[in-house]
Amino acid sequence: MSTRHFLTLLDFSPAELRGLIDRAIALKALHHRGERHTPLSGRTLAMVFEKASTRTRVSFEAGMAQLGGHALFLSPQDTQLGRGESIEDTARVLSRMADAVMIRNHSQTLLERFAAFSGAPVINGLTDRFHPCQLLADIQTFVEMRGDIKNRRVAWIGDGNNVCQSFIHASLQFDFDLAICTPPGYEPDTAVLSAAPRAQLADTPAGAAENADLVVTDVWASMGDEDQSQRMQDFQSFQVNQALMKLARPDALFMHCLPAHRGEEVSAEVMDGPQSVVWDEAENRMHAQKALLEFLLT
């Protein structure tokens, strides 16, 4: 069988994704009970980071350690990648030594090129287009707090960015409605959107948030977006604040992949308020990715 990769949520079937969420919840319970579970003893995850990270790096590194394995942090500056060794050659070499490779880089296309030459599973740790690991944690968090996400209503307010586009994939794979409201010119990719019938653009943030079970946002300027000051103007009326949350269902949750900017995309009141589940969401990165690593490597 050919090597399985996790480059977007569409690489796994809906049943496989649901299985990962159930397994993540079980692994979390095991971890919180203090029970050791080390199926990846002697296995290595190579992690290539072209962009900064707190959660992704720590969750994969701690997760591999808990599973009995080892994670290796590689930055382009310290490897031959930064001196021009090709993606294809790097993929062939890394995958002969490591059992899996996680990559965070600027380009989904480069990630795909890497995967095409890797004999080991490749995991997308965020690109310009998608952040599928984030969605595993987000769905796990919703399921833990509110049960099945099927047929629920999710509102995305803000930039039509990598996390938004993975939410669009999630609406297809987990079968929920997704209302997206972005400033003009910041919409998600048309091809990504049109392949997911339950994801629709809304005209106003209020229209998107109305009756939502979950309200989600992300930074106004992602890593690599240089046009910051124009963005600050364009996104002014796209803050998730208490007034917007009031339009959602009374038991609606608030999520943000983090890092967050209080006073920009989210008010401090919402970020630190009772509907916010951002810390559970961050913790679940580790549990969800442990389930993913176990799935890919055992």
Site residues for ligand NVA per CB under 6 A: 126, 161-163, 218-219, 222-223, 257
Tokens representing residue 133 in the block: 């690991």
134 classed as catalytic: yes
The Cα–Cα gap between 220 and 183 comes to 10
Cα diameter, the chain: 54
Q: Is 65 left (phi over 0), alpha (psi -120 to 50) or beta?
A: alpha
Q: Which residues contact 141 (CB under 8 A, 6 or more apart)?
A: 253, 255, 277, 280, 281, 284
Shortest-Cβ-distance residue relative to ligand CP = 56
Measured from the CB atom, the residue of 99 and 218 that comes closer to ligand NVA is 218
- Binding residues for ligand CP, rule: CB under 6 A, are 53-56, 126, 134, 257-258
Catalytic residue among 104, 129, 153, 256: 104
285 classed as catalytic: yes
Measured from the CB atom, the residue of 127 and 267 that comes closer to ligand NVA is 127
Task: Choose from ligand CP, ligand NVA, none: what does 48 bind? Cβ within 5-8 Å by kind.
Answer: none
Distances from the Cα of 96 to the Cα of 57, 63, 121, angstroms? 22, 22, 11
Contact 218, 134 (CB under 8 A): no
Task: Choose from ligand CP, ligand NVA, none: what does 162 bind? Cβ within 5-8 Å by kind.
Answer: ligand NVA
In sequence order, the β-bridge partners of residue 70 are: 44
Measured from the CB atom, the residue of 72 and 258 that comes closer to ligand CP is 258
Measured from the CB atom, the residue of 67 and 126 that comes closer to ligand CP is 126
State the minimum distance, in angstroms, from the CB of residue 129 to ligand NVA: 10
**Which residues are catalytically annotated?**
104, 131, 134, 218, 257, 285
